[in-house]
Amino acid sequence: MASNGDNNASAKPPPEPSPLRKAKFFQANMRILVTGGAGFIGSHLVDRLMQNEKNEVIVVDNYFTGSKDNLKQWFGHPRFELIRHDVTEPLLVEVDQIYHLACPASPIFYKYNPVKTIKTNVIGTLNMLGLAKRVGARILLTSTSEVYGDPLIHPQDESYWGNVNPIGVRSCYDEGKRVAETLMFDYHRQHGIEIRIARIFNTYGPRMNIDDGRVVSNFIAQAIRDEPLTVQLPGTQTRSFCYVSDMVDGLIRLMEGDNTGPINIGNPGEFTMLELAENVKELINPDVQIITVENTPDDPRQRKPDITKGKITTRMGTNDQIERWYSPYGGRFP
Ligand X SMILES: O=c1ccn([C@@H]2O[C@H](COP(=O)(O)OP(=O)(O)O[C@H]3OC[C@@H](O)[C@H](O)[C@H]3O)[C@@H](O)[C@H]2O)c(=O)[nH]1
Which residues form the catalytic set? 173
List the one residue from 231, 244, 255, 288 that touches ligand X (CB under 6 A). 231
Q: Under the criterion CB under 6 A, does residue 164 sit at the interface with ligand X?
A: no
| Residue 124 near ligand X by CB under 6 A | no
Phi, psi (degrees; rounded to nearest 5) at 139: -125, 135
**Per-residue x/- track, 61-80, ligand X (CB under 6 A):** --------------------
Phi and psi dihedrals of 138, rounded to 5? -85, 140
Based on the shown chain and the rule CB under 6 A, indicate whether residue 273 belongs to the binding site for ligand X: yes
* Count of residues engaged in binding ligand X, rule: CB under 6 A: 20
Q: Any bridge partners for residue 61, and if so which?
A: 84
Told to check if 105 binds ligand X by CB under 6 A, we report yes
Report 171-200 residues binding ligand X (CB under 6 A): 200
Q: How far is the CB of 26 from ligand X (least distance, A)?
A: 40
Measure the N-to-C terminal CA separation of the chain; round to a whole number of Å: 22
Of 113, 137, 104, residue with least CA distance to 17: 137
Between CA 280 and CA 282 the distance in angstroms is 5
In the bound complex, what is the minimum distance in angstroms from residue 174's beta carbon to ligand X?
9
Confirm or reject binding of residue 34 to ligand X (CB under 6 A). Answer: no
Site for ligand X contains 301 (CB under 6 A) = yes
Q: Do 205 and 322 touch, CB atoms closer than 8 A? A: no
Of 62, 120, 171, 232, the residue at the interface with ligand X (CB under 6 A) is: 232
Q: Which helix (H) or strand (E) holds 245?
A: helix 244-256
Cβ of residue 292: shortest distance to ligand X, in angstroms?
8
Residue 267 contacts ligand X per CB under 6 A: no
Q: Are strands 97-100 and 30-35 parallel, antiparallel or unpaired?
A: parallel
Helix (H, G, I), strand (E, B) or coil at 83: strand
Among 202, 209, 264, 267, binds ligand X (CB under 6 A): 202
Q: Rounded distance, CA 72 to CA 193, Å?
A: 33
Q: Taking the mean position of all CA atoms in its chain, how far away is CA 280?
A: 23
Give CA–CA dist 178/107, Å, rounded.
16
Minimum separation from the CB atom of position 208 to ligand X (A): 11
Among 43, 97, 218, 264, binds ligand X (CB under 6 A): 218
- CA 37 to CA 155: how far, in whole Å? 29
Q: Taking contact as CB under 6 A, which single stretch among the options 11-19, 42-50, 55-63, 229-237 is the one that binds ligand X?
A: 229-237
Summarize as ranges the residues that interact with ligand X (CB under 6 A).
Answer: 105-107, 144-146, 200-202, 214-215, 218, 230-232, 237, 239, 273, 301, 303
